[in-house]
Chain A
Amino acid sequence: MKLSELALGVLTAVGGFVDVSELVFMSQAGSRFGYALIWVVVLSTVGIMVFGEMSGRVAAIAKQPVFNLMRNRLGLRLGLITLIASFVSNLITCAAEIGGVALVLQLLTGAPMRLMAVAATAAFIATVWFLPFKWIERTYGLLGLFMLVFGVALVAIHPPWGQIAGGLVPQVPRGLSTRDLVAFAYFAVALLSAVMFPYETYFYSSGGIEDEWGPKDLGINRLTTIVGFGLGSLLAIALLASAAQLFGPAGISPEMIGTVAMQAGVPFGKVGVLLALLGMLFAIGGAAIETCLANAYSLGQFFGWRWGRHRPPREAPRFTLSWILVFAGSLVIVLTGVEPVELAEYAVVASILVLPLTYLPLLLLAGDRTYMRVHANGLLSKTLGWGFYVLIVLAAIAALPLFLLTSGGQL
C-alpha cells in the first residue's frame, strides 16, 4: 500500500473520531471536573483500539461480517436480542447526530433548526446514494479535520500542561461531595461509552469487507486503529482540557453546541468559531452516516441480504431501503423536538447498555481458530480484550442507576 493511502486512512480515522456525544461530554466533563477525567478518555481509547483492531482483523481474515458470524456462533435468540438492542442504540445515536448537524447549520445560516434537520437528512441520503464508500468516508473524515482548530486553540490559550499530564493518572478528585462523586462516576461511564460507541467497530469492520481486506491489510488495520484512533483521542482530550481551562473557572456548563465552538473562538475570534463549526459539521455529519449505515449493515448481515455501498443502491435493495428508513426514523425523532444534547445523553446510556452484547461475539470470533487460524487473538489481545470486556460490563451495570441518580449529569 502506498504511503499516501496509508496517511489518508489514518487522517480519515482522526477526522471521524469525534461525534456529537464526545463534543458534549468532553466539554461538560472538563468544565465540571477539570483535568481529572483525562485518564478515562485514554483508557477508553485503548479499549476502542483493541476492539477496533479485532473487528478489522475478523473482516480481513474470516471475510465474514461480524453480525453474520455472530448469528451462526451465538444462535438466533441471543443474536436477535443483540440486533434489536444495537439497532435502537444506533437509531438514537443517529438522531442525536442529525440534531447536532442541524444545530450547527442553524448557527451557520440562521435558518430554523427543524428545516436544517430536514435539509441535512436529504443531503446525507443523497451522499450515501451517489458517492462510493471510500469517498463518503474520506470526504467527511478529511473535512472533519477542521476540528484540529480545537487542538491549536488549546495550545494558544497556554494551558497548565503539568496539570493536564496529571490528569493521565487514574484518580478521583479529593474533597468531592457525595453528589459530585456520583456525577464524577456518571461522567466516567459516559466518556467510556462515547469513545467506545458500538457502531464504530461494526462500521469499521463492514468497511473492511467493502474494501476487500485480506491478510496483507492487517498492518494498515493495526496502524489505523492505533495511530488514527490515538490522534483522534488527542483531539477529544483537547476539547476536555480547553473546556477545563476556559469554562470551569467561569462556572459555565457547555450544554449548547455553540458554546463548545467558543473554545476555538476565545483565542481566534470569528475565524476560530467558523473553523470549529465547519469541523463539527463534517465530523458529526460523518458520524450520522456511520451510525445509519451501521444499522443497515447489521440488518443486512443478520438476515443474509445483499449489502454494501460497493454495489449500486438498486443492487442491494433491502440494504438501501434500510438505511433510507433509518435516516427517516432518526429525522422523525429530531422533529419531535427533543434537544440533540438530550438525545446524545440517551444515546450514550443506551450504547453502554448494549456494549457488552455487541462486543462479546466479536471477542469470541476474534479468538476462534476455526475462523481466524493463525490470526486468532494472541495473549495480548486476549488479555486486553477480556480486561476491557469486564470493564464495560461493570460500566453497563452502573450506567442506568447513575443516569437516574444524576438526572443525566445535571446534578
Chain B
Amino acid sequence: MKASGSLKLVAGVRDLQIVDCEDCNCGIVDDIELAGKPGAPLEVAALIVGPGGYSARLPGWAMRLVGWVAGRDAVKVPWDKVESVTSVVRLAVTAKETGLARAEARARRLLPGGG
C-alpha cells in the first residue's frame, strides 16, 4: 500500500529535526500520536520526542538497551504548536515551553559551573 494523506504526513515528519522559535535544535520527531474515532478522520495530535518515543520502534534487544542507557522519558508536543514542516519541523514556541529543554538542562547541571 502506498502512503497517502495523513499516513504520508506521518512518514514524512517522523525522524525530522525539531527547531524551536529561537532557532535552537530541540530534538527529533521520534513518533507521532494520532487521534480519532471510528467514522471520523485520523488527526495528528502530537509529536513524541525522547527515548520513550523511539524505543518502541526498535527490536526487543535494542529497546532494552535504549531503556538502560537513555531511560524511557518522552515529551509530547501538541500539533498546534507546530508552525511549519519543511526539511525541519519548526515550532511556534520555545523548547522550554514544550518541555523539550528538560534533558539539556539536566545535562547542563553535570557540567563544570553548570549549576
Contact = CB atoms under 8 A, between A and B. Distances in A.
A77 B65 CA distance: 13
A318 B113 CA distance: 15
A77 B17 contact: no
B103 A318 contact: yes
B87 interface: yes
Size class of the A contact interface (CB-based, 8 Å): 20 to 34
A304 B26 contact: yes
A313 B111 contact: yes
A314 interface: yes
Interface residues of B, number: 27
Contact of A317 (B15, B58, B108): B108
Given A64-B87, A76-B58, A306 B25 contact: yes
Interface string A45-67: 00000000000000000111000
Interface in A317-343: 317-318, 320-321
A106 interface: no
A72 interface: yes
A321 B110 CA distance: 8
A307 interface: yes
Interface in B59-111: 59, 62, 87-88, 103-105, 107-108, 110-111
B114 interface: yes
A71 B87 CA distance: 12
Contacts of B14: 72
B45 interface: no
Contacts of A378: none
Nearest to B49: A304
B80 to A, nearest CB: 21
Interface in B13-66: 14-18, 24-28, 49, 54, 57-59, 62
A304 B18 contact: yes
Given A76-B58, A304-B18, A314-B113, A62 B25 contact: no
- State the main secondary structure of chain A at its contact with B: helix
Contact of A314 (B25, B27, B62, B108): B108
Given A77-B58, A306-B25, A371 B87 contact: yes
A307 B107 CA distance: 13
Contact of B107 (A72, A77, A80, A321): A321
B58 A303 contact: no
Nearest to A129: B112
B26 A317 contact: no
B56 to A, nearest CB: 10
B27 A80 contact: no
B104 A305 contact: yes
A317 B114 contact: yes
A303 B113 CA distance: 25
Contacts of A76: 15, 54, 57-58
A80 B62 contact: yes
A162 interface: no
A75 interface: yes
A68 interface: yes
B104 A306 contact: yes
A372 B66 CA distance: 33
Contact of B25 (A77, A304, A320, A371): A304
B110 A304 contact: no
Contact of B104 (A63, A71, A77, A317): A317
Interface string A334-368: 00000000000000000000000000000000000
Interface string A111-149: 000000000000000000000000000000000000000
A62 B111 contact: no
Nearest to A306: B25
17 contacts: A72-B16, A76-B15, A77-B58, A302-B28, A303-B27, A304-B25, A304-B27, A304-B28, A306-B26, A306-B104, A307-B25, A317-B104, A317-B107, A317-B110, A317-B114, A320-B107, A321-B107
Interface of A: 62-64, 68, 71-72, 75-77, 79-80, 300, 302-307, 313-314, 316-318, 320-321, 371
Given A62-B87, A80-B58, 8 more contacts: A71-B28, A72-B16, A77-B57, A305-B25, A306-B25, A318-B103, A318-B104, A321-B107
